[in-house]
Structure 1
Amino acid sequence: MKAIVITEPGGPEVLQIREVPAPQPTGSEVLIKVFAAGVNRPDVFQRKGNYPPPPGAPQDTPGLEVAGIIEQTGPDVTGWKPGDAVCALLAGGGYAEYALAHEGHCLPVPEGFGSEAFIQAASLPETIFTVWHNVFQRGRLLAGERFLVHGGSSGIGITAIQIAKAFGAEVFATAGSDEKCAACDALGADRSINYKTSDFEEVLRKLGADVILDMVGGDYIPKNLRLLREEGRLVFINTMKGGKVKGADEVDFSLIMRKRLTITGSTLRNRGTAFKAALASEIRANVWPVLERGAFKPVIFRTFPLADAAAAHALMESSDHIGKIILLNQWT
């Protein structure tokens, strides 16, 4: 089969088409004929050599989420059959004609997505798994609480805004332009802050937040702690500005005691099979009905042929997009 391979650590140009052996499902695996694959920030980190795949995952082909048709099933698969339309969370290997997934990490393509069902479905697994676990399981967001997501126009951001709003939270977001803030507002954010022209801490100081989802880190850390209300929860999923606070702004850990704050975070890719399967089951029960009644809609910024994965990565790194970037299998 054809696949996109990271030929060496480096820039987008190191992503090249190669002929590789097609995988074969064993045990509880399914083989998916890929129609579309989502592009995510961890794919970029892997391409640069900074985010190695877990043992057993494809080592040279990125891609953490796909949508397509099940082609074959392993001997222990009970929940799916050839011909089923699914989207799936992968440990890697999604930028290819075919990809393997554990049966427990697959979800049905939501009903009502229409002619672009596979494109929209391919945008879901990585972001929804991440948001549900971090915002609702670790962050314990409840209806009526105030929720702040940084990077509101990213794939994670657009997902977090819509799901949090659907579950009754008051939603704030930060983004890097007025256009991106307007997009966040259109998705349901009650207030969006352009972090390039305003200090989000100053804007939200009187309101505060109960849960903050942070993918930025760095100098956002002390600001987040000061914004959190009593019993607030700060959840990290990335530290794009660094995991340490530099400069004059210090972290006042007495805030954690006085306000009884919780600081937590997670990464998803290296979690075990059983954990991801349990997460998928909870998502199917709680989030899929939200999708199917139209309260949460995927936002697709642009699609590229798989052969143009390098261009898709360049766009991802530019941060000029609002929503998801999707690769289409032109060989299907």
Structure 2
Amino acid sequence: MRAVTISEPGSPDVLGWSEVPDPVCGPGEVIVDVAATAVNRADLMQRQGFYPPPKGASEILGLECSGVISEVGEGVTGWSVGDEVCALLSGGGYAERVAVPAVQLLPRPAGVELATAAALPEVVCTVWSNVFMLAGLRRGDSFLVHGGSSGIGTMAIQLAARAGARVFTTAGTRAKLDVCRELGADVTINYRDEDFVEKVREATDGRGVDVILDNMGAKYLDRNIDALAVGGRLVVIGMQGGTKAELNLGKLLAKRAAVHATALRSRPATGPGGKAEIIEAVRRDVWPDVERGTIRPIVDRRLPMSRAAEAHRAVEASEHVGKVLLLPAD
């Protein structure tokens, strides 16, 4: 089969489209013939040599995909050859075929075209596990997501609005903020010329927000705590703004607040807190609204996998809104 390969850690130019060995279907796994995958920030970090795959995972980039099951491994029940699915991966999505633990599969949602479904697994599982299962966002809460026009952001806005939360978000252009409002954001903040802490305080009469989903890490840590309400929960899922910062415990104690930091890729497939647990919750609590069209994937563009370098440049430059998809066919 062909896959996107990395000649050495570096710029997008190190990405190629080459012949590699086919994946082997192990017990509890299926082989998916890939219709599409999607670009995630973690892929950019792995390409640069900063985010190696978990032990035992494919070295090939790609944390989600959609496609058709072509082989079913020993012990797998509930899935058959020919089923149209999308999947959460630990790696391997930038290829024509990928081996997937069956517990990480979701059925293609009715009404969503197969390739488009590749835009769903990573963002839905990330948002649902962190904002709802961990931080416990509920009706009447206030919620801030940074990077509202990203794949994670566009999904977080929709799911938080569906839950009855008041949604705040940041983005860097008027056009991106317009999209965020269309998706359900109540308060939009241009991070280039507005202070999100001031805007949050102004809009909440000084109270702050109950939950923050943050992709920036160190750069925003102190200001995120400033923006939290008493009893607030900050969930850090990215490190775009660095990995190390000073944490003022006095502020945290005064607000009786919590800081969580989580990763999805390194979770085990099964067991407490594993991917299977998240997949089950997503299928039960989110998938019906995806099928009804209430929650929808936002796709910016589609490119062939042979042009993965172009896709990485677009995501690095934040030129996109929602997800950038890669398809095996040229």
Q: Same fold per TM (> 0.5)?
A: yes
Q: How many residues are aligned here?
A: 323
- For the pair 1:73 / 2:72, whether they are aligned, the reply is yes
Match of 2:218 in 1: 218
Separation (CA, whole Å) in 2 of partners of 1:89 and 1:219: 29
Q: What TM-score do you get using the length of structure 2 for normalisation?
A: 0.95
- For the pair 1:134 / 2:130, whether they are aligned, the reply is yes
* Equivalent residues of 1:166, 1:290 under 8 A apart: no
Aligned residue for 1:225, secondary structure, equals helix
Match of 2:7 in 1: 7
Q: Map of 1:222-237 to 2, 5 A cutoff? A: 222-237=222-237
Q: Which runs of 5 or more structure 2 residues have no equivalent in the other structure?
A: none
Aligned residue for 1:205, secondary structure, equals helix
Q: What TM-score do you get using the length of structure 1 for normalisation?
A: 0.95
Q: Once the two structures are aligned, what percentage of the paired residues are identical?
A: 47
Deviates more, 1:169-178 or 1:212-221: 212-221
Aligned residue for 2:309, secondary structure, equals helix
Which letter maps to 1:75? E
Which letter maps to 1:148? L
- For the pair 1:265 / 2:261, whether they are aligned, the reply is yes
Separation (CA, whole Å) in 2 of partners of 1:244 and 1:16: 33
Q: Map of 1:44-63 to 2, 5 A cutoff? A: 44-59=44-59, 61-63=60-62
* Equivalent residues of 1:218, 1:243 under 8 A apart: yes
Which letter maps to 1:170? R
> Deviations 1:71-96 (Å, cap 9, x if unpaired)?
00101110200000000011111111
Separation (CA, whole Å) in 2 of partners of 1:281 and 1:251: 35
Over 3 Å counting, the alpha-carbon distance change for 1:252 and 1:75 in structure 2 is closer
Match of 1:180 in 2: 176
> Deviations 1:211-231 (Å, cap 9, x if unpaired)?
000111234222211111111
Aligned residue for 1:45, secondary structure, equals helix
Deviation of the 1:232 alpha carbon? 0.5
Match of 1:34 in 2: 34
Separation (CA, whole Å) in 1 of partners of 2:62 and 2:160: 26
Deviation of the 1:107 alpha carbon? 0.1
Match of 1:20 in 2: 20
Separation (CA, whole Å) in 2 of partners of 1:217 and 1:25: 37
Separation (CA, whole Å) in 1 of partners of 2:278 and 2:150: 22
Separation (CA, whole Å) in 2 of partners of 1:231 and 1:215: 21
- For the pair 1:290 / 2:289, whether they are aligned, the reply is yes
User: Deviation above 6 Å: which 4+ runs of structure 1?
Assistant: none
* Equivalent residues of 2:197, 2:223 under 8 A apart: yes
Separation (CA, whole Å) in 1 of partners of 2:234 and 2:24: 41
> Deviations 1:12-44 (Å, cap 9, x if unpaired)?
111111111111211000000001111111011
Decide which of 166, 187, 194 is 1:170's aligned counterpart: 166
Match of 1:189 in 2: 185
Q: Map of 1:295-314 to 2, 5 A cutoff? A: 295-314=294-313
Deviation of the 1:283 alpha carbon? 0.5
> Deviations 1:260-301 (Å, cap 9, x if unpaired)?
101112011111011101110010000101211211111100
* Equivalent residues of 1:134, 1:265 under 8 A apart: no
Q: CA-atom RMSD, angstroms?
A: 1.2
- For the pair 1:86 / 2:82, whether they are aligned, the reply is no
Separation (CA, whole Å) in 2 of partners of 1:265 and 1:159: 19
Match of 2:243 in 1: 243
* Equivalent residues of 1:138, 1:265 under 8 A apart: no
- For the pair 1:322 / 2:321, whether they are aligned, the reply is yes
Which letter maps to 1:104? V
Deviation of the 1:251 alpha carbon? 4.7
Match of 1:203 in 2: 199
Over 3 Å counting, the alpha-carbon distance change for 1:219 and 1:62 in structure 2 is closer
Separation (CA, whole Å) in 1 of partners of 2:239 and 2:4: 27
Deviation of the 1:191 alpha carbon? 1.0
Separation (CA, whole Å) in 2 of partners of 1:156 and 1:290: 17
Which letter maps to 2:165? A
Q: Which runs of 5 or more structure 1 residues have no equivalent in the other structure?
A: none
Match of 1:145 in 2: 141
* Equivalent residues of 1:29, 1:101 under 8 A apart: yes
Which letter maps to 2:63? L
